Structure 1
Amino acid sequence: MIPGATEYGIDVAPAQAAIERLLDVEPADVEPAAELSYCRNVFVPLTTACRYTCTYCTYYDPPGQADLMSPDEIRETVRRGADAGCTEALFTFGDDPDDRYAAVHDQLAEWGHDSIHAYLREACEIALEEGLLPHANPGDQTREQLALVADVNASMGVMLETTAEVQAHGGPRAKSPGQRLDTIRTAGELGVPFTTGILVGIGEDWTDRAESLLAIRELHERYGHVQEVIVQPVVENERWQDGTPSVETLRRVVAMARAGLPDDVSVQVPPNLAPARDLVDCGIDDLGGVSPVTVDHINPEYEWPGLRELEAVADHAGVPLTERLPVYERYVDEEWLSPTIRDALRADDDAGERFRACLSDPPEQQP
């Protein structure tokens, strides 16, 4: 039983036979992708407050030290991203700050917001005004929270990380796999194109990895909303000194992801955290969002690769490299995108042209 599944009404239970089949998968069992994609983004760390204290994470700050970007700072950051040719504003922050973060809540109230999600909506609107498509990763979300911001996002996401109960999540405010799956399910019910993924090396075993991938598959088969799954290794930093997975481990996990997920779900590895050259023959087809403007605020010690480095990975694999939007092209229609996002894609301005240049079949420009 997945921890927290009963509490959140999660009826996801991968069959043991399916888990065992996935455990037998090796890199030689999957085909390399015919092309690699990436997205050009600007990283916007809305707040470093987080209700969790995961032992591998350097992103969160304790109460009294957490930052909250102001509207002016958000606008300046996304404007720099648009000027650099980005298409995505990647909004990250720790899961909904709890009552310990009194200063954060006081600041939100001063700016006229009763929650971080209400402020996220304003931030997404700023990004749209400045010519970027928002992609928000606000962690665990209730239906009301997700619905509040869904229409101003081209896509959204949350990392499942693992279906296992691991010590790295330990403490009185530990993440619940059931709650993570509930967020992914809710996104499907609301029709939000969604990114999720697994974190490798935080104490889970091989069976946990297979179960996690199959749980994601099961939710996608119900709702069709999972656009990509990230296979991300934990990396050493000032809070995590328990090592990072070997290349051999990552090759096998990526192959399991490709074999275990539906063909229409992309498999991504973050090229600043994983040895992409060593994984391109294991089924990855995406190199994620990279920024020419900002650092990876979640893993600041690990620099984004430049475009030439991504091109070198694609050349090594012998495949083309294509630029994509934060929402995958198969979701660019009225069924999945809100009128707000569709209008941004059709706009007769520089941003609209930048967006449409990433689509093989762009929507008609507004008259």
Structure 2
Amino acid sequence: MIPGAEAYDIDIGFDGREIERALSVGPEDVSPSSELTFARNVFVPLTTACRYTCTYCTYYDPPGQASLLSRKEVRKILETGVEAGCTEALFTFGDDPDDRYTEIHDQLAAWGHDSIHTYLRELCELALDVGILPHSNPGDQTREQMRAVADVNASMGVMLETTADVTAHGGPRAKSPGQRLATIRTAGELGVPFTTGILVGIGEGWRDRAESLLAIGELHERYGHIQEVIVQPVSNNERWREGSPDLEAMRRVVAMARVVLPAEVSVQVPPNLAPVRELLDCGVDDLGGVSPITDDHVNPDYAWPALRELEDIASGVGVPLEERLPVYNRYVEEGWVSERVRRRIESITRSPSSSRA
């Protein structure tokens, strides 16, 4: 049973043969992708307040130290992104701040907001007005919270990380895999194009990795909303000194993802965190969002590669590198996005300098 699943009415189950099949997969069982894609983004770390205290995460700050970007600060980041040709505004923040973050709540109230989600909506609308597509990662969300921002986002996301109950998730404030899966399910029910993923090396076992990927695949089979699944290794930082998974483990888990997931779901590996060149033959077809102007604020010790390096990675295996939008074409064509988002997509793709997929 997935921890927390019962509380969120998650009825995902696995046939033992499915798990055994996933566990048997190796790199030799997959073929390299015929192309690589990436999105050019600008990173907007809206707040570093988070209800969780995961032991591998440097993103969150404790109460009294957490930051909250102002509308003016966000506008400047967005405008800089547009000038640099970015099409995605990646809004990130720790999961809905709890009652400990009184200063964050007081600042939101002073700006006329009773929650971080109503503020997020205002800033997503700002992004669309400025000329860039919002992709928000607000962590666990209720149906009401996601509905409040879904129509002003091109796509959204949250990392499942793992279906296992691991100590790295931080004791009494630990994440619940059941709640994470409920958020992914809610996105499907609301028709939100979605990104999720697994975090490799935080104490989960191989069976946990297989179950995590199977759970994501099952939700996609029900709702059709998963664009891509990130396979991300945990990385050493000031809070995590347990190391990263080795290359052999990453090759195996990436291959497992490619075999387990439906063919239309992309397998993404972040090029600043993983040895991408050694993983491309395992089924990777997307390199995720890469920013030419802002840091990876979730992993600040690991700089984004330059576009030139991405081109070298692709040319090294003889495949084209294509720039894409934060929402995949099929979702636009099938009417998943709101009219407001669709209009912004049309204005971006009509741009004479645009070559995006």
| Aligned partner letter, 1:358 | R
2: distance between equivalents of 1:354 and 1:139?
36
User: Cα distance 1:351–1:18, how it changes in 2: closer, same or farther (>3 A)?
Assistant: closer
Residues 78-101 of structure 1 deviation map (CA, whole Å, 9 limit, x = unaligned): 100000000000000000000000
Q: Which moved more, 1:125-134 or 1:201-210?
A: 125-134
CA pair 22-94 structure 1, distance change in 2 beyond 3 A = same
**Paired residue secondary structure (2:270):** coil
Distance 1:221 1:335 in 2: 18
1:330 positional shift = 1.2
Counterparts in 2 of 1:322-341, with a 5 A limit? 322-333=322-333, 335-341=335-341
Q: What residue number does 2:172 align with?
A: 172
Offset, 1:74: 0.2
- What is the correspondence of 1:84-103 to structure 2 with a 5 Å cutoff? 84-103=84-103
Match of 2:34 in 1: 34
Q: Contact between 1:56 and 1:234, CA under 8 Å: does it hold in 2?
A: yes
Q: SS in structure 2 opposite 1:245?
A: coil
Aligned residue for 1:44, secondary structure, equals strand
- The corresponding residue for 1:182 is 182
- Tell me which residue corresponds to 1:209: 209
Kept in 2, the 8 Å contact 1:132–1:351? The answer is no
Partner of 1:353: 351
Q: How far apart in 2 are the matches of 1:354 and 1:59?
A: 37
Secondary structure (helix, strand or coil) at the match of 2:173 reads coil
Q: Which amino acid aligns with 1:245?
A: P
Shift of 1:334: 5.1
Tell me if 1:307 matches 2:334: no
Correspondence 1:286-297 to 2 at 5 A: 286-297=286-297
Instruction: Find the residue that maps to 1:12 and give its secondary structure.
Output: coil
Residue aligned with 2:240, SS: coil
Runs of 4+ in 1 over 2 A off after TM superposition: 354-357
Secondary structure of the structure 1 residue equivalent to 2:315:
helix
In the alignment, residue 42 of structure 2 is paired with which amino acid? V
Deviations 1:91-120 (A, max 9, x none): 000000000000000000000000000000
Between the aligned partners of 2:353 and 2:5, the Cα distance in structure 1 is 39
1:254 is matched with 254
Give SS of 1:39's match: strand
| Distance in 1, Cα, partners of 2:272 & 2:239 | 18
One-letter amino acid matched to 1:278: E
Aligned-partner SS, 1:198 = strand
Name the counterpart of 1:154: 154
Cα pair distance change 1:24/1:354, threshold 3 Å? farther
Residue 242 of structure 1: aligned partner: 242
On the 8 A contact 2:349/2:355 being kept in 1, the answer is: no
SS at match of 1:144: helix
For residues 241-292 of structure 1, the C-alpha deviation after alignment (integer angstroms, 9 at most, x for no partner) is: 0010101110000000000000000000000000000000000000110000
- Indicate if the aligned counterparts of 1:345 and 1:356 stay in contact, CA closer than 8 A: no
User: C-alpha distance in 2, partners of 1:15/1:354?
Assistant: 51
Distance across 1 between alignment mates of 2:291 and 2:277: 19
Cα distance in 2 for partners of 1:14, 1:354 equals: 49
How far apart are residue 356 of structure 1 and its match?
Answer: 5.9
Same amino acid, percent of matched pairs: 71
Q: 1:95·1:139 contact (CA, 8 Å) conserved in 2? A: yes
Amino acid at match of 1:303: A
Change in 2 beyond 3 A, CA 1:352/1:172? farther
Query: What residue identity is the alignment partner of 1:310?
Result: L
CA distance in 2, matches of 1:14, 1:154: 32
Q: Does 1:104 align with 2:94?
A: no
- Go from structure 1 to structure 2 and tell me whether the alpha carbon gap of 1:249 and 1:196 turns closer, same or farther (over 3 Å shift): same
Structure 2 counterpart of 1:27, one-letter code: P
CA–CA distance in structure 2, aligned partners of residues 302 and 114 of structure 1: 35
Cα gap change, 1:148 to 1:52, in 2 (>3 Å): same
The aligned residue for residue 22 of structure 1 is 22
TM-score (norm 2): 0.98
C-alpha contact (below 8 Å) 1:266/1:286 kept by paired residues: yes
What's the offset of the Cα at 1:137?
A: 0.1
1:197 maps to 197
User: 1:142 and 1:136 mapped to 2: Cα distance?
Assistant: 14
Q: Is the 8 A contact 1:131 1:351 kept in 2?
A: no
Bigger mean CA offset, 103-112 vs 308-317:
308-317
CA–CA distance in 1 between the matches of 2:335 and 2:184? Answer: 18
Q: For the residues of structure 1 that align with 2:205 and 2:327, how far apart are their CA atoms?
A: 31
C-alpha spacing 1:354/1:39, structure 2 compared with 1 (3 Å): farther
Asked if the contact 1:43/1:89 (under 8 Å) is kept, the reply is yes
Residues 43 and 297 of structure 1 are in contact (CA less than 8 Å); yes or no, is this contact kept in structure 2? yes
Is the alpha carbon distance of 1:65 and 1:352 closer, same or farther for their aligned partners in structure 2, counting shifts above 3 Å? farther
Equivalent pair of 1:87/1:354 in contact (CA under 8 Å): no
Report the alpha carbon displacement of residue 357 of structure 1 after superposing the two structures with TM.
Answer: 3.4
Q: Could you tell me whether the CA contact under 8 Å between 1:26 and 1:256 is conserved in 2?
A: yes
